[in-house]
Structure 1
Amino acid sequence: MLFERTAISKKPAELARKEIDSIKAEDKVSPDLVFRDHYVLDFLNLKDTFSETDLETAIIRGLENFILELGIGFTFVARQKRMTIDHIDHYLDLLFYHRKLKRLIAIELKIGKFKAGYKGQMELYLRWLEKHEMERDEELPIGLILCAEGNQEQVELLQLNKANIKVAEYISQQLPKELLERKLHQFAENAKRIMENRMKDK
């Protein structure tokens, strides 16, 4: 389940094995094993139409369940973290800390599809956190952009991993049949691509 639900499943089999072996040997966890492609937030009980503020408020109200869905090691730090840049206030939706990764985790919530412009916003937040909030013994902060739907090609073209940014989709309620069918088709295509890559690696 750890393998299947995290980003490590997209890597070639040999690299995935090395990461898992490193956990066993050094008790060291990589970001690819912490972050997932999808999060199920049905416990938030959101209505059919909601805003980013509604989503954030529901997460704070159900913080314990949200942290459980994120996974082990996450600690809540702040909501609407204020960052003053060039005399203008910016607000990060949620700020967490991950004990094993020893990093701050910046989370931005989006109610629509992923947009390329989100990268610049998150990079700005991460550099600010690096400059003003990071402790000496910590690793560089990581950003997680949670969207209702992803745009996989944009995510790949932007090479977000190099910028320490992860993108994941969330499911807040029962999906409409059409969207469910589309997502199942995407999952099947991704699984097929992973299997083809593994065969090439052998």
Structure 2
Amino acid sequence: MAKNINNAAIVETDLFSELSQLVEQTQQQVIVQNNSALTLLFWEIGFRINETMLHNKRAEYGKQIVPALSAELKNKYGRNFEEKNLRRMMQFADQFRDREIVVTLSRQLSWSHFLVILPIKNAEAKLFYASQVSDQLMSVRDLRRQIATKAFERTSIANIQTASSEDNLQYSFKDPYLLDFLNLGNAYLEKDLEQAILDELEKFILELGKGFSFVERQKRMIIDGEDFNLDLLFYHRKLKRLVAIELKLGKFQAKHKGQMELYLRWLDRYEKQDGENTPIGLILCAESSREQIELLEMHKDGIIVAEYWTDLPPKKQFEEKIHSILAEAKEKIERKYLSE
């Protein structure tokens, strides 16, 4: 009898767990569906107001209709329809004019995400950040950080470098990488940097970008009876490649290329699996020595060099630095095509 009671209790516990999971999954689906429906509703409202104002070109009419509509909608449906919110809906519909794109994005982006994206002036940047949220299931807080740290501009630098190097690998990487979230202070060793990255692995992967997954730290390689250790090993799903990452405290040096080449050859021989492409390397340095990198033609050996910043400079200085790197990359590609 006792055994039957225990079995019944186990069955009941398992059933409760299964039903709880079903309830929670459904609740999550309802939340997502509600968010999507609300976002589409706000787009439709903005679209209809914009259309009405476009067809009735009297300026005085435009000034009157929004406050009047807001007063009635707010009275019937609540604070979501205050005048400033209606104007945001109009802005939303004006900036994202393709309803099908909005339908797709609304499955992952909440209205709060769109409110963060709307003030961005560059149309390409808007779609970039919207895609980032959709692809990486990014929170509103993480989205704000990506915008504040100029992720679009840093990816644009990589894109320009891709065009100048005739190598599409660079497209998947940024320059510089912003690692201010590691809170390292002024003095640290390479092992401290590595440990801090592992402690904040989720944030580090978010900074790396879409498609990266962590494989191993201090990857051991025995070559000619001697031990070598790669700092970090990742895998990139879209590229279908292992990504070897070496961390350097100082400025890039030419000898770093030889070290990374050795690691990549070893990984290609002993770790690459069927269906994978040749491993690539990312050398993260405090300073990247751009002329040396250009002369060494690192990209031809599947090696990318990028800077990392452990402290964010003041906003104005940061923007000037990013602008400078962009200008330098554009100048490089212009020189390339002028010489051809």
1:23 is aligned to: none
2:287 aligns with one of 146, 149, 170: 149
Aligned letter for 2:178?
Answer: V
Shift of 1:145: 0.1
Stretches of structure 1 that go unaligned for 5 or more consecutive residues are 20-29
**CA gap 1:159/1:46 in 2 versus in 1, 3 angstroms:** same
Mapped partners of 1:47, 1:130: distance in 2: 36
Distance apart, 1:186 and its partner CA:
3.9
Residue 234 of structure 2 corresponds to 96
Q: Which residue in 2 is equivalent to 1:44? A: 182
8 Å Cα contact 2:243/2:280 also seen in 1: yes
2:306 aligned to 153, 168, 174, which one?
Answer: 168
CA displacement, residues 145-200 of structure 1 (integer Å, 9 cap, x when unaligned): 000011000000100001000000011013499x9699457426415516846996
1:10 aligns with 2:148: no
* Residue deviations 1:102-161 (CA, integer Å, cap 9, x gap): 000000000100000000000000000000000121100000000001100000010000
Q: Helix, strand or coil for the counterpart of 1:81?
A: strand
Give the TM-score normalised by the residue count of structure 1: 0.81
Q: How do residues 118-133 of structure 1 correspond to structure 2 at under 5 angstroms?
A: 118-133=256-271
Map 1:184-195 to 2 at 5 A: 186-187=324-325, 189-190=327-328, 193=331
TM-aligned CA distance change 1:55 to 1:176, over 3 Å: farther
- What do the CA deviations read for 1:1-47 (whole angstroms, capped 9, x no partner)? 5674152223559x99xx9xxxxxxxxxx422201221110000001
Residues in 2 aligned to 1:108 and 1:58: alpha-carbon distance in whole angstroms = 14
Match of 1:53 in 2: 191
Under a length normalisation based on structure 2, what TM-score does the superposition of the two structures give? Answer: 0.50
Report the counterpart of residue 251 of structure 2 in structure 1. Answer: 113
Percent of matched pairs sharing the same residue:
54
In structure 1, give the amino acid aligned to 2:238: K
- The answer to whether the 8 A contact 1:41-1:170 is kept is yes
**SS state at 2:250 partner:** coil
Q: 1:11 to 1:107 in 2, by over 3 A?
A: closer
The structure that is strand-richer by fraction is 1
Determine the structure 1 residue equivalent to 2:51: none
Give the number of the structure whose alpha-carbon radius of gyration is greater. 2
The CA RMSD over aligned residues, in Å, is: 3.0
| C-alpha spacing 1:170/1:142, structure 2 compared with 1 (3 Å) | same
Tell me, yes or no, if the aligned pair for 1:80 and 1:93 is still in contact at 8 Å.
yes
Amino acid at match of 1:9: I
Higher helix share: 2
